[in-house]
């Protein structure tokens, strides 16, 4: 199985954020991701990563936590200055924390103008940070109403148009199932673009076990296809986090 990663925004939430790093390490993870780390000073997060010998896989753009605001601005016509300001702040965090990926969120928008805005913004971001790996992720519109990037053909079209070596696809099997009902089919079509994988059960978005998605088969497929990246648990534990981590041993 590829390398397991713990999403500290959703896992170990029975603990304060400062204690989740140690809990992840004790549970067997050596890599974590934090969707929105901006409520903690970067030096403190860096210290917690270092003392627990953890790598930071990914953070999201834009700050702050999207629960308090729009779901990104990359595809929002007229929001280019906001997008650039947010991206630069995220980039400073990524550089300070050694984050391998920045996930750029599209926001709520629709139509050809939104697609053109997202392409232009991604071209700018990829050129602004040529040494930073970036991702985009299709997200279903049940969980995130109105989200622009909710289609894999659209994601492919955008990636081809931007054509930046540091921009790839973030593949969330939960979203892939909710959008298409065919995780394996979407993986087959998109796997050459994928640089980061996330998993969660369906329905309920709990542990990736005993659910409508055949995760043992999916993990086997990742191995067969030679996927070398991380597989991050991005889900809401049904109980205590430690009780549901059997999936990392597939």
Contact criterion met (CB below 8 Å) for 143 and 115: no
The HSE-up count of residue 85 (CA atoms within 13 Å, CB side) is 6
Catalytic residue among 33, 115, 207, 234: 234
* Burial zone of 112 (CB within 10 Å; 0-12 exposed, 13-18 middle, 19+ buried): exposed
* Burial zone of 27 (CB within 10 Å; 0-12 exposed, 13-18 middle, 19+ buried): middle
Helix spans in the chain (H): 17-26, 42-51, 80-97, 112-128, 152-162, 173-180, 183-190, 215-224
Task: Note if 113 is an active site residue.
Answer: no
Catalytic residue among 33, 115, 137, 207: 137
Task: State the Cα–Cα distance between residues 44 and 157, nearest whole angstrom.
Answer: 39
Task: Note if 234 is an active site residue.
Answer: yes
Task: State the Cα–Cα distance between residues 170 and 82, nearest whole angstrom.
Answer: 23
Catalytic residues: 137, 234
């Amino acid at each position: 199985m590829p390398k397991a990663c713990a999403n500290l925004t959703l896992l170990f939430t029975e603990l304060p954020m400062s204690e989740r790093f140690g809990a992840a390490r004790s549970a067997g993870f050596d890599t974590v991701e934090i969707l929105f780390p901006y409520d903690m000073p970067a030096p403190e997060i860096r210290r917690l990563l270092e003392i627990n010998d953890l790598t930071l896989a990914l953070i999201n753009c834009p700050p702050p936590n999207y629960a308090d605001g729009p779901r990104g601005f990359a595809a929002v016509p007229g929001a280019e200055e906001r997008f650039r300001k947010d991206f630069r702040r995220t980039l400073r965090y990524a550089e300070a924390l050694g984050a391998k990926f920045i996930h750029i969120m599209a926001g709520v928008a629709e139509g050809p103008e939104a697609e053109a805005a997202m392409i232009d913004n991604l071209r700018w971001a990829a050129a602004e940070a040529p040494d930073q790996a970036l991702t985009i992720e299709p997200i279903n519109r049940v969980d995130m109403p109105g989200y622009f990037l909710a289609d894999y053909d659209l994601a492919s079209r955008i990636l081809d148009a931007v054509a930046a070596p540091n921009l790839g696809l973030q593949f969330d099997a939960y979203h892939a199932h909710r959008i298409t009902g065919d995780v394996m089919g979407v993986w087959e079509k998109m796997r050459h673009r994928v640089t980061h994988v996330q998993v969660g059960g369906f329905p309920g978005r709990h542990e990736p076990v005993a659910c409508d998605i055949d995760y043992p088969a999916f993990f086997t497929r990742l191995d067969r296809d030679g996927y070398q990246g991380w597989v991050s648990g991005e889900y809401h534990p049904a109980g205590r986090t430690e009780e549901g981590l059997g999936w990392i041993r597939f």
